[in-house]
Amino acid sequence: MIHNEEFINEFIEEAESHLQMVETGLLAMEEGKMNKENINNIFRSIHSIKGTAGFFGLDRIVELAHIMENLLGEVRNEKIQPDSVMVDLLLTGNDQLKAMVDDVFNSHEYDVSKLVESMSNLMEGKEATSNDEAQKKESETTVTSTETHETVLTINSKQREQIEDAKKHGHYLYRVKIGINKDIGAKEISPIRFFKKIQSVGEIVDSYTDISDIKSLDSVMDADVYFSFVFTTVLEKKLLPIALDIEDDTIEELNLDEQLSKELITTLSEDEESSKETEETENDVTEEAEVHFEEEQDEPNQEETLEEVTESQEIQSSASAKKPAAVSTVEDSVRVHVSLLNDLLNLASEMVLGRNQLLRNIEEHRKEISGLDAILQNIDRVTTELQEKVMQTRMQPVGNVFNKMPRVIRDLSKKLGKEVELNIEGSHVELDKSIIESLSDPLTHLIRNAVDHGLESPDKRKKSGKTPSGQVDLKAYHESGYVHIDIVDDGAGIDAEKIKNKALEKGLVSESDLKNMSDQEILQLLMMPGFSTAEKITDVSGRGVGMDVVKTNIEKLGGTIEITTKLGEGTTFRMILPLTLAIIPSLIVEVDEFKFALPQVNLQEMVRLKTGDETKKIEYVHNAQVLRLRGKLLPIVHLGKVLGLESHKIKEINQEIDDITRILVLKVGSKRFGLVVDHIYDEEEILVKPLPKFFKNCQCYSGVTIMGDGKTAMILDPEGIVAKASLRFMDEQTKASEREASAQLNELKEMQNMLIFKCSGEETFGIDLSLVSRVEEINSDSIDHIGNKEYIQHRGEALRVVRPESYLPVTKKDNNPRKLYVIIPKLVKNPIGIIIEKIHDTIMTSIKLNQEDIKGKGLLGSTIINDKIVLLINIYELFEMVSPEEYENQSLKISSNDRTILLAEDTPFFARLTKNYLEWAGYHVISVMNGQEALDALKEKPVDLVLSDIQMPVMDGLELVRNIRKDPDLAALPVVALTSMTSEKDREMGKEAGFDFYEFKLDKATILSTLKNAFEMRGETV
């Protein structure tokens, strides 16, 4: 049962902080840094946790903390020497405490008995102590020092009330120790005045006077009366010495600890003895001379202080007089709930925007109204400062997240048997709280990587002349407005070749892509989704975090990751993060009268195209629009189209508004593309408001903002736009001159994407990728045999599969590999899977078909790729051979000849393929590359039917058919569309434009029958 639940969050925060310190301390202890300070810190932290846990009634936590405290107490008293086993045990205990604190409401269900037992055994095995006695007295309310966390005194319930009341009013609790002569008399202050002052600034809770120094009248002139008191006051620690006119070091700030819900003990008589153990001998002071009511349940140290004071005049040497150690101290700080800070930040940001608006609107009148200028300047300045300061409240040192790493390294290095030295720099560098929080996982992952994959084993290192212990540096520093976090290892480095190969293997990239990648881009492949297989999910990192998730997380924060490496020497992962979040500069753009905000961070440049300007033009490559910009080619996306805005569905070619096309060049990661919009407005600083969850399926938006006119506007997410538009990024090649670029463009037009593969024999085959729906890996066992036919289960249905070498005039071998691949074709009515043994490559290359040399049914021809002969498969013929019943249909052939078909198709492969079966069916075929050429051809020679692709450069199919219909000579011509765009809308558009029929590109049988229909329709008999 938990008491005082409303304060539980504070407990958790504090406890977590303590537990972190304990971990750091334990690790240091293991490394031999066994100094007293360290141990004391650890002890105090555990003690504090125990105390506050008791306040809440968290029994299990108290139980475990208690035993740990005992153990640590023994270490502190040097009764036990800590060894690796003990440290491990303590670390485990600490972890368990962490777990319980995280799950505080269920903490009572955790079983800590085993740990407790282990620790008890450990202690017993070393030495039994009587510390237990002292510990069990800790059931009263105690007051402890915030600096030393030691118990100062025990108070009764009345006093507790007093303190609590004071605390409620925001008062502080202090202990002041003075020698009346030394501190008051020496300054010639009247003691009456002094004590009056104390009473006026606060309330004394308890006090203790030590007159033991005065032995007799003789010593009156030299002796001193020592007075220590605990009191509450509203004064801050800094002000107190000034107010009372005493030295800082006489004052100590205190905390109120309460343990368990037991009633408080008020009586004196108990157990002074237990705490006075070793001090007995020094304790000359007779009990009577000491004036004190309450028991001092002090640690020996505490007791020491007062005793020492009487013995010798040295006051400074003991624990409580020590200056606060490395442990974080409570110095003039205030606890504020994070939500309050967030609200403040929002308000400050709105203030900034309001100020911007105000300044903008009132700009003209600035001079008119007297005094206005100065006022505006003031508001301007104050607002800026306000925002900056509020931002600062959310800044936290990156060390908060860094200090988790030593543990990660320790555990990992033990697990892997590698020695690792961790060097941390720049812990003080500050970042916004939310960034810090999001860094934990990625950082852990990168560190793990460095140790796991980066560093070599000690043996290997020795062999290469390196120190057996590997070095990992974790650095944070500022640079040009960003914070850099470097994770550097001096390990084996990353082999770019291996990355290339793996990426190819996984089909993430093609050979030609690779050729044009910079070193950085190749390394970035590491972080592509799907790159690494099964990331090991260890306890240390907790969740399975792949490198791609790391990258995404960093990018979500507005940052980037860079990788540099040197084989044999090491690798550096660099995270570059922005300092702040909420307000970002952006550009307001408009499409179809909808306004959007585009974050500036992605914007590279703005391009305005005027029709007729040859230097900047939109071209077509492979059915996609590209912008040629200074020799480079950028894929183009129409924002309206991506957002599904009505008027944009029809547009395909340059649609101009006032003859100008406005394109924004955006950069996402290492990819660039152009975004076409209708209007571009001003730059504005906008406040990013989170995207309501109802829009989570809209990839294109990353947030909402409220513009100056009070209307909401969506914030565009370039990455989402890219994903939605499914851009295939093409290689941008840097060319010196326009001509070269132009030539290159032409080359690109003829290039096709080919899948190169091998069957069981020697020959290499190729097939156009657009014919391929997917390639699947299968086990040869999973092929079912029915009769002499082979099938596999594909998507819940049986798919017929064939081996090309069984039908084609090529070699066949019985290799019987276990692993096979199946090419599932696209755009075919009754698909048959093609079994192949090895995938070579996917390349983009221009095809020069040699149809004469190698011929055979099922083969379209051959071509040379990379000095190899590649046989191009004619999928139709192959299928016909396999299932003649389905595919061959003589009725599709036409009886009479002399029907000429004009085929407009820009892809050579398809052109060839289609021409092939058209000719097989008995037609004459004239083949052209685009709509314009088609029109030209029509002028020269009459044809009987036009078969056209839709997506073509220069003039597309839609426009072609419109032109045909416009021309009285041609209007009656049957025109059939042959395309891969087959949605209802496309069909409608096609019909509207004037096509008689609209057909699927590769459905040979249907096409041929449609052609027949088309002829009939136009009133001719076939």
> Which residues of the shown chain bind other proteins in the complex (CB under 8 A)?
180-181, 184-185, 188, 190-192, 195-196, 198-199, 204, 207-209, 211, 214-221, 223-225, 227, 291, 350, 592, 594, 642-645, 689-690, 692-695, 697-698, 700-701, 704, 706, 710-714
Of residues 311 and 473, the one with the C-beta less far from other proteins: 311
Of residues 642 and 824, the one with the C-beta less far from other proteins: 642
Least distance to other proteins, CB of residue 677, Å? 13
Of residues 243 and 325, the one with the C-beta less far from other proteins: 243
Of residues 192 and 534, the one with the C-beta less far from other proteins: 192
Of residues 181 and 655, the one with the C-beta less far from other proteins: 181
CA–CA separation, 179 vs 196, rounded Å? 17
One-letter identity of residue 227: F
Look at the block and give the residue holding tokens 């924060």: 557
Residue 472 phi, psi dihedral angles, 5° rounding? -120, 125
Specify which residues 701 forms β-bridges with.
716
Of residues 288 and 814, the one with the C-beta less far from other proteins: 288
Instruction: Calculate the alpha carbon distances from 75 to 24, 70, 79 in Å.
Output: 17, 9, 6
Least distance to other proteins, CB of residue 236, Å? 23
Of residues 713 and 756, the one with the C-beta less far from other proteins: 713
904 touches 928 (CB < 8 A): yes
Of residues 655 and 1009, the one with the C-beta less far from other proteins: 655
H or E segment to which residue 903 belongs: strand 900-904
CA–CA separation, 643 vs 699, rounded Å? 10
User: Reduced to 3 states, what is the DSSP secondary structure of residue 92?
Assistant: helix
Least distance to other proteins, CB of residue 654, Å? 21
One DSSP character per residue, 458-519 reads HHHHHHTT--SSEEEEEEEEEETTEEEEEEEE-SS---HHHHHHHHHHTTSS-HHHHHT--H
CA–CA separation, 818 vs 815, rounded Å? 9
H or E segment to which residue 840 belongs: strand 838-846
Least distance to other proteins, CB of residue 313, Å? 15
One DSSP character per residue, 907-925 reads -HHHHHHHHHHHHHHT-EE
CA–CA separation, 956 vs 842, rounded Å? 28
Of residues 208 and 923, the one with the C-beta less far from other proteins: 208
Contacts of 914 (CB under 8 A, 6+ apart): 903, 905, 925, 947, 978, 1007
Contacts of 562 (CB under 8 A, 6+ apart): 520, 573, 574, 576
Of residues 207 and 440, the one with the C-beta less far from other proteins: 207
Least distance to other proteins, CB of residue 229, Å? 8
Of residues 171 and 689, the one with the C-beta less far from other proteins: 689
Look at the block and give the residue holding tokens 């007093």: 162
The DSSP symbol for 729 reads P
Least distance to other proteins, CB of residue 676, Å? 15
CA triple 898-903-909, angle to 5 deg: 120
User: Reduced to 3 states, what is the DSSP secondary structure of residue 385?
Assistant: helix
Q: Structure tokens of 902? A: 């004009």
CA–CA separation, 958 vs 595, rounded Å? 31
Pairing of strands 624-629, 617-621: antiparallel
CA–CA separation, 631 vs 738, rounded Å? 6
User: Reduced to 3 states, what is the DSSP secondary structure of residue 657?
Assistant: strand
Of residues 288 and 479, the one with the C-beta less far from other proteins: 288
Contacts of 502 (CB under 8 A, 6+ apart): 531
Least distance to other proteins, CB of residue 215, Å? 7
Look at the block and give the residue holding tokens 């013995």: 311
Least distance to other proteins, CB of residue 198, Å? 8
Of residues 325 and 344, the one with the C-beta less far from other proteins: 344
Least distance to other proteins, CB of residue 37, Å? 34
The DSSP symbol for 182 reads I
Least distance to other proteins, CB of residue 197, Å? 11
Least distance to other proteins, CB of residue 184, Å? 5
In 3D, which of 872, 848, 897 has the Cα closest to residue 763? 872
Least distance to other proteins, CB of residue 245, Å? 13
Of residues 243 and 844, the one with the C-beta less far from other proteins: 243
In 3D, which of 693, 674, 684 has the Cα closest to residue 713? 684
Least distance to other proteins, CB of residue 189, Å? 8
User: Reduced to 3 states, what is the DSSP secondary structure of residue 997?
Assistant: strand
Least distance to other proteins, CB of residue 704, Å? 5
Least distance to other proteins, CB of residue 288, Å? 8
Look at the block and give the residue holding tokens 């968290």: 58
Of residues 219 and 811, the one with the C-beta less far from other proteins: 219
